[in-house]
Amino acid sequence: MSAENLFTTSRIENVNQIIAELYDDSILLEKRMESFFLNLNNIVFFEKANFLFYQKQGQNYKTHSIYTINWNDEQKRRYQEEYCHMDDVLSILDSDSNVTFLTNQLFNQEVRKNSLYFQEFLLPMGLHDSIETNFSIRNRDLRGVFSIHRSNDKKNFLPDELSLVRLFQPHFCNVFKNYGRELNIGRAFHVLENYNCIGIGCFDDKLNFIGCNTTYHTYMENHGFADLSNNPISNCFRSLCRQLLRSGSITGQNIEYKMENSPLFLEVSRSHLKEGPDNDCFVCLFFDLSYVMDRTLSQISRDFSLTNREVNVLSLLLRGYSNDQISSTLFVSIPTVKKHLASIYSKMEIKSQKQILERIHFYDK
């Protein structure tokens, strides 16, 4: 595609419209990214695309989160777990300047195509030729990369197409400037909405209740708590919020609490409603562990090779039973209960009850 064909008046108008939609914060960020992919593909042909966010750990980068077009779950898993450290694009993450480039021009193609990363991942994935652009994120631990890709049976990207993609780069820096730090309440409520075991409430910096997801609301109603802002769970959340305030915690820090004689596990963290010094809020989550166990106990038993007795102990534990109550219910000694718990935690490779949610990956999703 030639330069005069690519940069027509109508295409520039399309670019301006795409940029405007990127800034529309009334739309969930994930939806804006998805829309951006689709709209860009009407101007520049590509087969796969991605936003990759990286977090620095020591001298290395690991993926923080991924948003893709035409990557399946297995491909995303393999990149994160097996090939991220080989990615030759990582070299631009520490650059102080914005970088946009064609892989067919920047890299020595003979060397690149003989590399393990290219042979085992890029080529089978159809990521033969790419336009890559980095962008900075105000959270200093995170870096972003946007990429579009074509397979080896398609023509390579042209310099004119690179120039067009470069138009979006400064806007990535602005749109994602608070990524990983700022809270979008709508996004937080939406992401976990399908997991009925997780209730999400939000309190402002004066500890006033300002919102919740459907699970939070339904749980309170089912347990006779008509007043969402004044009930035992909300009051416990406020107490945890005060602990965070007294500790002088910074944004992103959290505090956890397991309610006694209850299957609820609480977590409170500080975040931002929007940028500014007076916009702190508290995000309060409760995990109804019994919900998960009711639906996944048999799967957990198979996956982690738990004995029948360990399954019984785990089921009672996540329903809020203390060690004493488990002991009396199962007619075993407390040392025996502790022995079973140690075995369960070892098999599941966890150190706390909350981590059970992370290990089972929501089998009923």
Share of the chain above pLDDT 90, in %: 19
Mean pLDDT of 196-224: 82
- Report pLDDT for 5: 56
The answer to whether residue 275 scores a pLDDT higher than 50 is no
Mean pLDDT of 12-20: 82
**pLDDT per position as a tens digit, 328-342:** 999 999 999 999 999
In the chain, the domains with their CATH numbers are 3-175 (3.30.450.80), 185-289 (3.30.450.20), 291-360 (1.10.10.10)
**pLDDT per position as a tens digit, 123-157:** 899 898 999 998 887 666 788 999 999 998 899 99
**pLDDT per position as a tens digit, 337-357:** 999 999 999 998 887 766 765
Distances (CA, A) of 233 to 68, 225, 285: 38, 9, 10
- Report pLDDT for 290: 67
The answer to whether residue 184 scores a pLDDT higher than 60 is no
The answer to whether residue 26 scores a pLDDT higher than 80 is no
Confidence of residue 180 (pLDDT cuts 50, 70, 90): low
- Report pLDDT for 235: 92
